[in-house]
């Protein structure tokens, strides 16, 4: 089983949307996928038409079977649920899920939680930091980078600054940039507004094509 | 002989002639070294330059970017 924990370099980086879209794309490629929401606000289910009311009422754990082979697990939407408790729960879940899933995607929310999870896991959990292309991200990246994989998100090619930033990062060999860059695309917003994953709501969008490429990359990692 | 071999075997002058026949504009480009481009980026954005100078990423191998 390929296990990935995604988190944002800062809030609003688009992690939950990427996890939802990537999970759906992997399922479309025939993978059995488990998505786990550790963020505490339980937004992940909204991308799969789960009702807002039921997500808000979820205090402990909730498992949603979206379609056979694609499940969404919400671990504690209550803000008082501690990260450590979630970490223990996730370790147990992963131990049991290995036989049932090909891909595990965790929406870890922030770097601290992702690191704690990875440290507490017996199986390898690769961490992917979702990075917006702006000056503040550049500062944080060059100040705090610790070798994690980087997924550039919401890239606007018409911006001179963003083009310059991306070129700098691509020429910094120490930064582990993923081979796929996700461009700014209104399809992301529209998909959430439709309560559907990206490839279902806007299958012809550039974003959907890029997520499909990322899904292929994930499958290649699983085969290594 | 396939299409690629045939194209490779064409004399350059014939290709130029063909381009003229179909009224293809002459394309030109200026080669810009990556280091040159990176230097101009650093001059344009002082914060980016400062972070590159002070980052631990560049501590071991000098100022690469």
Cβ distance of B48 and A171 shorter than 8 Å: no
The predicted pLDDT at position A55 comes to 64
Work out the minimum CA distance from A190 to partner chain B, whole angstroms: 33
Residue-wise pLDDT for A71-121, tens only, equals 998 876 544 445 555 556 667 777 777 788 999 999 988 887 777 777 766
What one-character DSSP code corresponds to residue B57? Answer: G
Interface of B with A (CB under 8 A): 34, 37-38, 41, 44-45, 47-48, 51-52, 54-57, 64-65
The predicted-structure confidence for A48-57, as pLDDT tens digits, reads as follows 998 887 665 5
Closest of A108, A93, A188, A184 to residue A148, by C-alpha: A108
Q: Cα separation of A15 and A188, whole Å?
A: 11
| Dihedral over Cα of A31, A36, A39, A41: its sign | positive
The conformational region for residue B5 under phi > 0 = left, psi -120 to 50 = alpha, else beta, is alpha
Instruction: Calculate mean pLDDT across residues B39-44.
Output: 93
- Phi, psi angles (nearest 5°) of residue A71: -120, 150
Q: pLDDT band for position B58 (50/70/90)?
A: low
Q: What is the mean pLDDT of residues A23-36?
A: 96
């Amino acid at each position: 089983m390929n296990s990935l924990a995604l988190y944002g370099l800062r809030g609003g980086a688009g992690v939950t949307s990427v996890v939802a879209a990537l999970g759906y794309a992997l399922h479309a490629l025939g993978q059995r996928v488990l998505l786990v929401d550790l963020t505490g606000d339980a937004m992940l289910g909204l991308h799969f038409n789960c009702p807002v009311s039921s997500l808000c009422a979820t205090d402990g754990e909730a498992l949603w079977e979206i379609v056979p082979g694609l499940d969404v697990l919400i671990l504690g939407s209550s803000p008082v649920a501690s990260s450590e408790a979630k970490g223990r729960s996730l370790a147990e879940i992963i131990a049991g899920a290995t036989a049932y899933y090909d891909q595990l995607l965790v929406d870890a929310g922030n770097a601290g939680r992702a690191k704690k999870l990875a440290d507490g896991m017996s199986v390898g959990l690769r961490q992917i930091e979702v990075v917006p292309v702006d000056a503040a991200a550049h500062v944080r990246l060059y100040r705090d980078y610790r070798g994690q994989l980087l997924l550039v998100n919401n890239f606007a090619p018409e911006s001179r600054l963003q083009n310059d930033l991306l070129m700098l990062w691509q020429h910094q060999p120490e930064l582990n940039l993923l081979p796929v860059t996700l461009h700014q695309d209104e399809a992301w917003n529209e998909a959430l507004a439709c309560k559907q994953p990206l490839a279902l709501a806007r299958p012809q969008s550039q974003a959907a094509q890029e997520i499909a490429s990322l899904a292929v990359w994930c499958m290649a990692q699983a085969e290594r | 002989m396939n299409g690629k071999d045939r194209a490779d075997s064409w004399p350059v002058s014939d290709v130029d002639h063909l381009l003229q026949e179909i009224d293809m504009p002459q394309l030109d480009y200026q080669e810009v070294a990556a280091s040159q481009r990176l230097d101009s980026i650093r001059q344009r954005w002082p914060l980016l330059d400062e972070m590159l100078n002070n980052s631990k990423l560049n501590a071991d191998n000098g100022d690469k970017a």
